[in-house]
Amino acid sequence: MTPHPDRAREAAIHILCRLREAGHTAFLAGGCVRDELLGLTPKDYDIATDATPHMVRSYFPRTQEVGAAFGVVLVHVDSCTIEVATFRSDGPYSDRRRPDAVIFSDARSDALRRDFTINALFLDPLAESPEARVIDYVHGVDDLRARVVRAVGNPHARLAEDHLRALRAVRLSARLGFELEDATAEAIRLHARELAGVSRERIGDELRRMLTHPSRAVAAWTLQYLGLDAPALNDRANLNAPVRLGRIGDDTRYATALAAWLFDRTGGEIGTGESAETISRWRQSLCLTNEETTLFRGIVTDWRTLRREWWNLGVARQKRLSVRKEFLEALRILGTTEPEEFVRIRRRVEELRATPSGLAPAALVSGDDLVQWGYLPSPGFKVVLESVYDAQLEDRVRTAAEAAAFVQELASNPGVGLVRQKGH
């Protein structure tokens, strides 16, 4: 369970005070400072200090090393976990993810090695005057006021250290409603292809965070504008506006957002073979879970049914589809661009719900029933059970007695494949 923000802040200040008592410099750092200055509630709190990891561990009874070589220690206070990092300067990033070596340093050097100016601010919550509270070596406060995401120093150098920063810049600008500073945006565009060298797990995590946030359409549009969509998805670049993605509502599953974006990119028309190939590629590119992939695939399948076959389907098939979560998500996306058709289909679903059997009645016959009635388990069981349930959905069979009689009728057809046990 995530602790309440107030408790997390109290825990961070407790740690900060203990470090100060031991004679160290310590500030709140990074995203929590940015969010507090914007009047937002930080999700977590980080501390930067001149205390080394060894010192930090000696001051607190419950700690965990997660990156001692990089100066990072987790400190546990009650139910809260606070990341405490030693001020540092970074060496070269030969793996384009982490520095080969770090040098413990001071606050200014630590600010200069960070990604974006608005993430490179420090805050002293114990300062007596408001002027002394914010420690700003990179003009990050000015960029907060201007609502701009700007790389610290040379944007080409910042990207060369870790090309995932291109995706972070997009996510941050979309989430906060900030503009990407021109030089930073141009550097991202020039180095977009190099994103392909970043691990797929990290790319997938960034896309998941973008597309599950209400700013998802702005993020997707920015990815496309900067040429990041092709290397991120391992797909062709695309400049179609993410209209459906922007209209599906704030609370949206990742798989639904991916499906909406796919429909935007294809103009809503996608064949069976093309969709299977694209879903497989996106699954690998974004490291989708099995559950996400299954839902994604199901939404795309039901989307095609809605667009091409729905009104030609029989009652049983329409009812079976209407209770699928994939169908409901596909219908939700359909409503973003075809509201009249959305209403027509919803009305049809309500008509089906109002029938005597409803949308998903409990089955009147089970496999155990067939065995009890003397039939040997066989592939014919599936045919019979589905046929009986279809008849039930269509209100041709309404009672257990009628269902049993229908089974006998089906069993009389040798093509069904029901075989009686000896003695029955």
The pLDDT value recorded for residue 92 is: 60
Same domain, 14 and 103: yes
Q: How far apart are CA 122 and CA 134, in angstroms?
A: 6
Q: pLDDT truncated to tens, each residue of the chain (424 aa)? A: 456 668 999 999 999 999 999 999 999 999 999 999 999 999 899 999 999 999 999 999 999 988 767 889 999 998 899 999 999 887 666 555 566 667 889 999 999 999 999 999 999 998 877 777 999 999 999 999 999 999 999 999 999 999 999 999 999 999 999 999 999 999 999 999 999 889 999 999 999 999 999 999 999 999 999 999 999 999 999 999 999 999 998 889 999 999 999 999 999 888 777 889 999 999 999 999 999 999 999 999 999 999 999 999 999 999 999 999 999 999 999 999 999 999 999 999 999 999 999 999 999 999 999 999 999 898 889 999 999 999 999 999 999 999 999 999 998 888 887 878 765 5
Distances (CA, A) of 384 to 101, 367, 391: 68, 9, 11
Q: Which residue has the tokens 């279809």?
A: 390
Structural domain contains residue 223: no
Structural domain contains residue 126: yes
Q: First and final CA of the chain: distance in angstroms?
A: 58
Structural domain contains residue 179: no
- Among 88, 120, 146, where does a domain finish? 146
Q: 7, 113 in Cβ contact below 8 A?
A: no
Same domain, 274 and 415: no
Alpha helices in 323-357 (DSSP H): 325-337, 339-353
Same domain, 45 and 115: yes
Q: Name which of 36, 50, 51, 183 is nearest 121 in CA terms.
A: 36
Q: How far apart are CA 248 and CA 111, in angstroms?
A: 39
Instruction: Collapse the DSSP code of 335 into the 3-class scheme (helix H, G, I; strand E, B; otherwise coil) and give the result.
Output: helix
Q: Which residue has the tokens 């002027």?
A: 131
Q: How far apart are CA 171 and CA 163, in angstroms?
A: 14
Structural domain contains residue 188: no
Same domain, 246 and 352: yes
Same domain, 333 and 378: no
Same domain, 373 and 354: no
- Among 316, 331, 360, where does a domain finish? 360
- Among 360, 379, 396, where does a domain finish? 360
Return the exposure string of 208-241: e unless at least 16 CB atoms fall within 10 Å of the residue's CB, then b.
bbbbebebbbbbbbbbbebbbbbbbbeeeebeee
* Residue 117 dihedral angles phi and psi, to the nearest 5°: -60, -35
Same domain, 259 and 356: yes
Token readout for 298 is 């199901």
Question: 125: which DSSP letter?
Answer: T
Distances (CA, A) of 21 to 9, 76, 384: 18, 18, 77
Q: Name which of 245, 225, 229 is nearest 237 in CA terms.
A: 229
Same domain, 325 and 375: no
Structural domain contains residue 212: no
**Domain of 86?**
1-146
Structural domain contains residue 262: yes
Q: How far apart are CA 186 and CA 171, in angstroms?
A: 16
Same domain, 49 and 79: yes
Q: How far apart are CA 175 and CA 216, in angstroms?
A: 8
Q: Name which of 103, 94, 35, 93 is nearest 69 in CA terms.
A: 103
Same domain, 128 and 18: yes
Token readout for 356 is 């005597």
Question: 395: which DSSP letter?
Answer: T
Count of other CB atoms within 10 angstroms of residue 259: 30
The pLDDT value recorded for residue 418 is: 82
Q: How many domains does the chain have?
A: 3
Q: How far apart are CA 139 and CA 153, in angstroms?
A: 11
Structural domain contains residue 15: yes
Encoded amino acid at 67, one letter? G
Same domain, 137 and 247: no
Q: How far apart are CA 280 and CA 274, in angstroms?
A: 10
Q: Name which of 111, 88, 87 is nearest 99 in CA terms.
A: 88
Q: Residue 384 half-sphere exposure, CB side, CA atoms within 13 Å?
A: 32
Q: 24, 50 in Cβ contact below 8 A?
A: yes
Q: Name which of 94, 90, 95 is nearest 72 in CA terms.
A: 90
Same domain, 326 and 416: no
